[in-house]
Every structure is written in structure tokens, then in C-alpha cells.
Amino acid sequence: MAAPPKFVESELVSLEAFALRAGLPIRDHAMLRSALTHRSFVNEHEGAAEDNERLEFLGDAALDFLSAALLFRRFPDTDEGKLTRLRSALVCTEQLAAFATEIGLGEELLLGKGEEASGGRQRPALLCGAFEAVLGAIFLDSGLPAVEEFLLPRLDRAITAIVEEESALDPRSQLQIWAQAERGATPRYRTVGSTGPDHDREFTVQVLIGESVVAAGTGKSKQDAARQAALNALRDLGQESAAWE
């Protein structure tokens, strides 16, 4: 394996510049470097510093706590089920990868040659993990209040966007979000009948979650019938309103 690059003055300057640019409240730049080190880099450099997976574990825990606390305060009349689904959207891989992209995290990562060549700097799962690792580094360096100060404005903006998007979703999308969060399954639709002449046919479609039929709907097309089935399912499940406020 190639020898690991030394932690030279130019790298220190680069890390300081990145921390300043990204608004990271972290003083220990060696720890920041660890947060930016992917395991593919460690695998290619014998004796390299620890990769960022332990910091990712810590940052994930801080993120879960802070996002839950924020949602609890912001939505005082919302039940546990809706809070859980909103938090799932708030801390999903794609959302955290977007936060990472916002601060230019991908360009600062230490990657192995193979990971670099395969587009690792833009890979959502990799960016998500690195962002969580940075949160872990901030926590160890400056404590939970510093993580909160850095993270909450981003979470607040994301919540607003998620709620607005949720309110505009069609019934099938709403049901899918609910079913995946609550049942760990994606709804399936099956056409079970049709009536009337060819020029005026009405279809009946059932929606299933797992192996259970949860509702049925009718419509002039299979698509309309599936939409009605999803809407009926949401009503039966007490989820017909997508409003969070």
C-alpha cells in the first residue's frame, strides 16, 4: 500500500478554509480530517488515520435527537405516527446528501482511487455518511449546542419544503409514504373487475399493503380507480389529511 500523506501545513490551511466556508464550528482540524476520510482511502494507505464510520455513528445519534426535538416543538398537536414519518423524510439519505452538497463536502473528501473514479464524491449514501460524521466531529469538538446551531437552520428549511411538498402529493404518493414508514411495505394495486360497454367501462381496483387488501376504488380508467382506492385507504386509515400544522 502507498504511504499515507502527511498532515502538512497546506492541508491544515485547506481544512481551515473549508471549515470557515461551510460554517463548521470545529477547532480540531485533525478530527475534521477524520470525518472526511472514507474507508476506501484508509484501505489504500497503510497506517492512515481512522475512517469516518465511528464519527458517522455518533453524528447519526445527535441528528436523530435534534431532529426529533425540533419536530416535537414545532408540531405540538401532531401525533407520534406523523412525527415519525416527517422525521424519516427529514433525515433520509437524499436530504442529508443535499445538506452535504450545500456546504461543498464532496470536494473535500479523502477517497480511494476506485471510489473516486466511480463518482463517489456525488454518491448520495457516501455524502450522507460524511455529513453525519461531520456532525459527530462537531459534537466531540464543541458539544451538542454547537451541532444544534449548525444543523437546526438547515432542518428548519427542509421541514418547510417537505410539508409544502407533502400537501401537494396525490393520494397514491401519500399512501406510499405512510405504508413504507408504518408497515415497511409499498402498496400494490390490482384490477379486480370491470363493468359496462367498451366505450363507457368502469374499473374496480384494490390496493394491498403486504398481503392485506386495505381498500378498493372505482373509476373510468384503471389509473382513476387506483387513485380512488388510495384515497379510500387513506380515509380508512385516518390519514386523509396531509397537513402537519
Q: Which of 22, 60, 40 is nearest to 150 (CA)?
A: 22
The total of other beta-carbon atoms located within 10 Å of residue 59's CB is 27
Residues identified as active-site? 60, 132
Four-way CATH pick for 171-236: 3.40.630.30, 3.30.160.20, 3.30.1310.10, 3.40.50.11750: 3.30.160.20
**Fold matches, 9-167 and 171-236:** no
CA angle, residues 229, 234, 240, in degrees to nearest 5: 125
pLDDT of 128: 94
- Calpha distance 233→245 (Å, rounded): 22
Note the pTM of the prediction, 2 decimals: 0.68
The rounded mean pLDDT for the chain is 87
Task: Name the helix (H) or strand (E) containing 211.
Answer: none
- Please provide residue 170's backbone torsions phi and psi, each rounded to the nearest 5 degrees: -75, 165
Instruction: Please name which of 152, 107, 153 lies closest in space to residue 127, comparing C-alpha atoms.
Output: 107
Q: Each residue of 14-37: pLDDT tens digit?
A: 888 999 999 999 999 889 999 999
For the stretch 149-204, pLDDT in tens is: 999 999 999 998 887 776 656 788 888 888 888 888 889 999 999 998 888 889 99
**Any residues with CB less than 8 A from the CB of 158 and at least 6 apart, and which?**
90, 95, 98, 99
- pLDDT confidence of 45, banded at 50, 70, 90? confident
Give domain limits for the chain: 9-167, 171-236
- pLDDT (tens digit, 9 = 90+) per residue, 208-233? 999 999 999 999 889 889 989 998 99
pLDDT, tens digit, for every residue of 62-79? 999 999 999 999 988 887
Section 83-108 average pLDDT: 90
d(CA 16, CA 26): 9
Among 57-61, 76-80, 226-230, 233-237, the range scoring the smallest mean pLDDT is 76-80
Residues linked to residue 194 through DSSP beta bridges, in sequence order: 203
